[in-house]
Amino acid sequence: MQRPRSNFDIIERYRYLIDYSNLKDGLFSSSGDFFCNKSDYLQYIDNPFLGVPFLLPDKLDSFNYDNKNSFTISKSEICHNIFSLNNLDYVGVRLFTEYGDTYNSYAAPKNEHMPFVNWVSQVNNECKSLVSSIRASGKTVCAFQTRNIPHYGHERIIAEGLKECDYVIINPIIGLKKKGDFRHEVVEKAFLYLIDNFYDERVKYSPIIANMFYAGPREACHHTILRENLGFTHFLVGRDHAGAENAYNSDSAYDLLSNSNFDISVIPLQGAYYCKKNNKAVIKGIDNYHKEDLVEISGSEFRECIISGDLYNFSRPELQNYIKTFGGDLFE
């Protein structure tokens, strides 16, 4: 049985150390300075397929800086150019700009933070090694990303991944999340329970440590780049990928990635719903159903049921009863 690993508390001040580790390990492309300079940033504006630019705020306590490399980008520019929104109070914009509008392209972590940077590399290399071992046997392997505990919609998406590939790896992102998201250890324990009790060896669990930006379809591309560099052959992208607060059209990531040209095979999905007539989860545009029979599987409603102690209709009761045994705070 796979067990959750103990780890450093992933707290806010580590956010940019995680970015540094990801860039150092080649999980995302970087300039010679690692973090983006102003010229690098400008290349991202009209090309969402590049993903999210890594901008390092100036004067963080955890880094040593070269003061010659600072530049400014306004919050409104970030909001419009990176998030494609006009709402300066959007959670992704707030997280991205919380340290002001001055950035620096060249800095290195202070020595006391290198153990954390190296730990991030270690965890991510475990995932990379797992993918590599599967591919060494000539098999295909698909990444499935989620930041929520599993419901029937997730299980239907996993089943779709198994139709396309020999293996599916549940590959959640562990890093700084927004308030109200499930804590990463809750997601991990829930999926390990599901795998141990209801799946065979074709479904595995391996997290990746990176940051969420909540940048919607642009971030769907960002996560595709990440999985490509980890060695996955396929990547499942679901409804409203990396969105929040209903800021993006739920099919935006699907529409963008349906026209992408990544080396990795992207499997864009329009979302899973529950079909009352067939009494099972279905994927929009793939399975047979009548539209009037569909019920939305809501992560927000599931979360409310977990809080109230009620059973949610669209997730395994055994799993929900197991989650009730966790105790403590389940949310960020």
Q: Indicate whether 7 belongs to any domain.
A: no
pLDDT-derived band at 1 (thresholds 50, 70, 90) equals very low
Confidence category of residue 180, pLDDT binned at 50, 70, 90: confident
**Considering only CA atoms, which of 164, 170, 35 is closest in space to residue 106?**
35
Whether residue 206 is found in the same domain as residue 308: yes
pLDDT tens sequence across 251-262 = 899 999 998 999
Tell me the residue range of the domain where 28 lies.
12-113
CATH of the domain at 216: 3.40.50.620
Q: If you average pLDDT over residues 122-128, what whole number do you get?
A: 97
> What CATH number should be reported for the domain holding residue 41?
3.10.400.10
Residue after which a domain boundary falls, among 68, 87, 113: 113
Q: What is the pLDDT of residue 13?
A: 67
Name the pTM for this structure: 0.93
Q: Where are the beta strands (DSSP E) in 173-316?
A: 173-174, 203-205, 208-209, 234-237, 265-268, 272-275, 280-283, 294-296
pLDDT band at residue 40 using 50, 70 and 90 as cut-offs: very high
Query: Mean pLDDT, the chain, as a whole number?
Result: 92
196-229: pLDDT as tens digits: 999 999 999 999 999 999 999 999 999 999 999 9
No. of helices (H) and no. of strands (E), the chain:
11, 14
Give the mean model confidence (pLDDT) for residues 93-116: 95
94 located within any domain: yes
Q: Let me know whether 189 and 313 are in one domain.
A: yes
CA distance readout (Å), 291 to 90, 99, 168, 241, 284: 32, 46, 29, 22, 9
Predicted local distance difference test score (pLDDT) of residue 8: 46
The encoded tokens of residue 280 equal: 């099972």
Structure tokens given for 81: 């150019």
Using a pLDDT cut of 70, give the percent of the chain over it.
95
Same domain for 208 and 306, yes or no, is yes
pLDDT at residue 10 greater than cutoff 60: no
- Looking at 56, 80, 113, the residue that finishes a domain is 113
* pLDDT digit string, tens, across residues 75-104: 999 999 999 999 999 999 999 999 999 999
Any domain includes 258: yes
According to DSSP, residue 13 is labeled G
Q: What's the pLDDT at 201?
A: 96
- Residue 64: the pLDDT is 95
Alpha carbon distance 88, 73 (integer Å): 14
Report in angstroms the alpha-carbon separations of 92 from 88, 157, 262: 9, 26, 25
Q: What's the confidence (pLDDT) of residue 288?
A: 94
Tally of residues, the chain? 332
The one-letter amino acid at 278: N
pLDDT of residue 332: 83
The answer to whether residues 165 and 300 belong to one domain is: yes
- What is the rounded CA–CA span in Å between residue 230 and residue 28? 10
In a domain, 307, yes or no: yes
Residue 33 has a pLDDT of 67
Average pLDDT over residues 1-27: 73
* pLDDT number for residue 32: 63
Boundary (domain end) residue, out of 89, 113, 137 = 113
Task: Tell me if 193 is assigned to some domain.
Answer: yes
